[in-house]
Structure 1
Amino acid sequence: MKMRKFLFGGALLLLFFTSCKNKQAQTNAAAQVKAYPVAVISASDVELHAVYPAVLKGEQDIDIKARVEGYIDKIFVDEGAVVRKGQPLFKINSPSSVQMVENAKASYNTAKLDVERIRPLAEKGIMSDVKLSAYQNTLASAKATLDQAKATLNWATVTSPVDGVVGTLSYRQGSLVTNATVLTTVSNISKVVAYFSVNEKDLLELLKEFKGNTQAEKIKNMPAIRLMLSDGTQYEETGRIETISGVVDATSGAVNFRASFPNKHGLLRSGSSAKVIIPSEHKSAIVIPQKATFAQQDKVLVYKFQGDSVVQKVVRVKTTPDGQAYVVTEGLSLGDKIVTDGIATLTNGQKIKEQK
């Protein structure tokens, strides 16, 4: 009897110590569950930027050519000079044009003398009026040839066809030039055109964002765009997209865009490089910090907090202009909870607790 009481008492004691040990283990396990910062997904308005490399061109980039053959006698401007329409740029010494004028003058004078000699005879009936008319026609033709030769000689002074800025002077004084020689380029930069390309996928996403049934209507409803200069500063004036090519380039898979920017101070120059920024407004968007995400192969993932543990979730995102956050376009919903920091120490299915 005493033995039974001893055994029963020992069993109770063992059970008590085992229970205490289990409780202590549970307490230790709970203490080992790490706390992480968790955020509830909410909505906010944000502006996103699509950025594309661009090449700037003047509204008019005109090649300046000599219209007569000869040697450059004078250069009236320097590279980068601002010129007005009709302003002299070059003076061409054209011996052939001078000779043409001299020959035309001689022919004209001869024809004039013939008319003066024949007219009195025709008036006296010695020569027929038909003969006089033939000489008069020859005189008129000689006059036209002389006028043309003088006009050609005037072409020896090369003038600017537009207001603009002078480009590189490819030839110097004394150089032989012909009517095929490009002496320089004058760029009308009162308005500057930016050319850039957008791949087909981005184009489709871009067009979906703007109202309109046709491409022309969508272009009209596109917002004002901005320009980032090569030094990283933003140009003070905004521009507008004017055209989108109707053909996708078979080699690059891209579509060409053309946008224009006012350039009243002449800061933008033809041939410069820049970046076009197309803004788009996103209302009630899901915005998360980039540090709450991690990359796995070509996917972006977050840790979603569910119950007492986390699960990996693939999301589709777009980068915000400051480069510090993402706009989530797919994968999360309002009210979801995600871990916002320390995700490098997490694994899928790991138990955590919410940091207070």
Structure 2
Amino acid sequence: MKITSIFNPSNLLLAAVVFTAAACTGGNSAPRQQRAAATVTTVKVEAKEVTGLDSYPATVVPVKEVELRPQLSGYITKIFVEDGETVKKGQKLYEIDRTKYVAAYQQAKANVATAEANLARVEQDYKRYQSLQEQDAIASQQVDYAKADLKTAKAQVDAAKAQLSSASNDLNYSTVKAPFDGSIGIHKVRIGAQVSPGQPLLNTISSYDPMAVDFVINEKEIPRFNRLKKEDHSSDSLFSLAFGDNSDYPYPGRVIAIDRAVGRQTGTLTIRLGFPNPEKDLIPGMTVDVNVLNQDHGNQIAIPYKAVVEQMGEFFVYVDQNGQAHQQRVHLGSVVGKDIVIREGLKGGETLIVDGIQKLREGTPVEAAK
């Protein structure tokens, strides 16, 4: 019997490849190696006492403020107070040369006396003419003249008294007095300065206790501040102040006014708070921060702010669930120091990943650092 041998080089090459692959794999498919666990730092989520505040830039303004200007012409002859002095209502501040105003007042008084004396004489004449007319001993025309003279004399008295009142006012205006209790600023004039009605500015006086603080809010916040104004707050007020050096003002404030309308261009509304100011720490024009207590106060879930991740306008944290990172969406509240209040998303008791979150994804194996 004849045997025919068939040799195909391609079959030999295929066998070699299969043998090589089997050698590399040991003949079977091995399981893929698991990812190495990321080392992270964790803390337990728990509630803590916090004070959540909303901060607004604000300006200190006096409750009452008036520019002091002269109402007469003349020269400043006296200045009764020092720069920056605290004054009382009615206290003398400046004096304008009173010489001609005293003279005008005295002349007006004399004119009143003369007019009243003339009126008394005319009244006596009129009464006498009336008596004679009753006896038919005088012409009626003479009585009519006497009656007209009486009206004229009365008008002269009224005119003289009006002139006296004007002269009295001028004399009073020659001494500029404090319209209310307050603090006066630095003098804008000195003795000898010439003044005229309205010019120049002599000084400015403002009240200092209480003091007002103005700030603006977005129109969306108006309902909240309307509620705050209506509520009767205790001494532990919802409103406090912080100075530029981060020190706190010791006295609480209260809402005393809300502006009448929202600005058409800005969409904001001005709120005015009142604060006691016995030590004069609040000065008109200074800039402060108004802190308003919000809903994030008391026992709240608060976590380190650095544990929060923002993605597409939403906020997330990572928690350790059985050795794996789980991404949890949260709703943020107020920042309190280095912490932030979580209003929704965490209930307490979770193991929060604080450090190492940059390398995490959903399901990444994690291992707490030791």
Query: TM-score category by the smaller chain?
Result: 0.7 to 0.9
Partner of 2:217: 198
Measured after TM superposition, the shift of residue 181 of structure 1 is 5.4
Q: 2 CA distance for matches of 1:114 and 1:256?
A: 62
Letter in 2 for 1:60: K
Match in the other structure for 1:270:
284
Q: Cα RMSD over matched residues?
A: 3.9
Cα distance per residue 1:40-92 (max 9 Å; x no partner): 43333321111111111222112323232333332222331100111111112
Against the structure 1 CA distance between its residues 217 and 326, is the aligned structure 2 distance closer, same or farther, given a 3 Å change threshold?
A: same
Distance 1:18 1:241, change over 3 A: farther
Name the aligned partner's letter for residue 239 of structure 1: G
Q: How big is the shift at 1:263?
A: 1.1
Q: 1:153 aligns with which of 151, 171, 176?
A: 171
Q: Provide closer, same or farther for how the CA distance between residues 93 and 246 of structure 1 changes in structure 2, counting only shifts above 3 A.
A: closer
* Number of the residue aligned with 2:254: 240
**Structure 1 residues 297, 135: closer, same or farther in 2, change over 3 A?**
same
Match for residue 11 of structure 1?
Answer: none
3-state SS of paired residue (1:198): strand
The residue that corresponds to 2:75 in the other structure is: 71
What is the CA deviation profile of residues 170-190 of structure 1, one whole-angstrom value per residue up to 9, with x for unaligned ones? 344313231475432211112
The whole-number CA distance in structure 2 between the counterparts of 1:215 and 1:202 is: 10
TM-score, structure 1 as length reference: 0.76
Q: 1:242 to 1:108 in 2, by over 3 A?
A: closer
The whole-number CA distance in structure 2 between the counterparts of 1:85 and 1:218 is 33
Going from structure 1 to structure 2, the CA distance change for 1:287 and 1:218 (only over 3 Å counts) comes to: farther
Partner secondary structure for residue 291 of structure 1: helix
Gap change, CA 1:108 and 1:276, over 3 Å in 2: same
Query: Aligned pair in 2 of structure 1 residues 257, 124: CA closer, same or farther (>3 Å)?
Result: closer
Paired residues in the alignment total: 331
Structure 2 residues without counterparts, runs of 5 or longer: 1-21, 133-141
CA separation in 2, counterparts of 1:89 and 1:185? 11
Residues of 2 paired with 1:217 and 1:266: CA distance?
25
- Quick one: which of 179, 185, 188 aligns to 1:167? 185
Distance 1:352 1:193, change over 3 A: same
Partner of 1:141: 159
Query: What is aligned with 2:205?
Result: 186
- Look at both structures and tell me which one has the larger radius of gyration over its CA atoms: 2
1:35 aligns with one of 33, 39, 43: 39
Decide whether the 8 Å contact of 1:219 with 1:241 is kept in 2: no
Deviations 1:129-176 (A, max 9, x none): 647634642245324422431332122001001110013433443132
Pair 1:215 & 2:227 matched: yes
For 1:303, the equivalent position in structure 2 comes to 318
1:313-341 per-position Cα deviation (integer Å, ceiling 9, x unaligned): 4433234332x011112333434332112
Whole-angstrom distance in 1 between the partners of 2:160 and 2:61: 46
The TM-score normalised by the length of structure 2 is 0.73
| Cross-structure match for 1:9 | none
Which deviations, in whole Å up to 9, do the C-alpha atoms of 1:266-285 show, x marking residues without a partner? 22222222111112353442
Tell me: CA distance 1:262–1:329, structure 2 relative to 1, closer, same or farther (3 Å): same
Task: Give yes or no for contact 2:219–2:267 (8 Å, CA) kept in 1.
Answer: yes
**Identity within the alignment, %:** 26
Letter in 2 for 1:293: V
Distance 2:47 2:125 in 1: 105
Shift of 1:104: 3.1
Shift of 1:296: 4.3
Alignment of 1:270-349 (within 5 A): 270-280=284-294, 281-296=296-311, 298-322=313-337, 324-349=338-363
User: Alpha carbons of 1:256 and 1:143: their partners in 2 closer, same or farther (altered >3 Å)?
Assistant: closer
Partners of 2:329 and 2:167 lie apart in 1 by 79
